[in-house]
Amino acid sequence: MAQGRGTSAVILFWCVLVVVSEMADATSYVVGDNNGWSFHTNNWPNGKKFKAGDVLVFNYSPSQHDVTVVDANGYNSCNSSKASKSFHSGHDQITLGRGTTYFICSFPGHCQQGMKIAINAA
Ligand SMILES: *[C@@H]1O[C@H](CO)[C@@H](O)[C@H](O)[C@H]1NC(C)=O
Ligand SMILES: [Cu+2]
């Protein structure tokens, strides 16, 4: 009986440890670094290695910009009409799923001025 409880405690300990270490493993990125989410951010992802679970933080003024999730076509043509999600808080924290996620600003002309990023998460 006492032995059973001990085993449960050990299993629980390992579960907690696994969850905590997975959380610690996720990286948080401020998009555009000190410039925030703004024009000409399209090259910001270059050289970074993202993974599923990482968090992107978009800082911007909600009266001037937004964060809109689109597909590859929407990204390439800067067309937000088929957006799957849109964020407006000015401080959006978005957890990446596996694969490529395309973010653009849907304000007229902003995406064309490089307010767009394609993030590939392993
Ligand atoms: C954006 O995409 C939609 C649907 O895919 C299309 O109807 C619309 O004409 C496009 N807008 C522009 C400006 O290309
Ligand atoms: Cu914008």
CA distance 95 to 23: 12
Q: What are the extents of the domains in the chain?
A: 27-121
- Nearest listed ligand to the Cα of residue 80: 1
- Please tell me the predicted confidence (pLDDT) of residue 25: 85
- Predicted pLDDT of residue 18: 59
| Residues flanking ligand 1, CB < 6 Å | 77, 79, 81-82
The pTM assigned to this predicted structure is 0.82
| Homologous superfamily of domain range 27-121 | Cupredoxins -  blue copper proteins (2.60.40.420)
pLDDT tens for the 122 residues of the chain, in order? 556 666 666 655 565 555 555 556 899 999 999 999 999 999 999 999 999 999 999 999 999 999 999 999 999 999 999 999 999 999 999 999 999 999 999 999 999 999 999 999 99
Ligand 1 centroid to Cα of residue 79, in Å, is 6
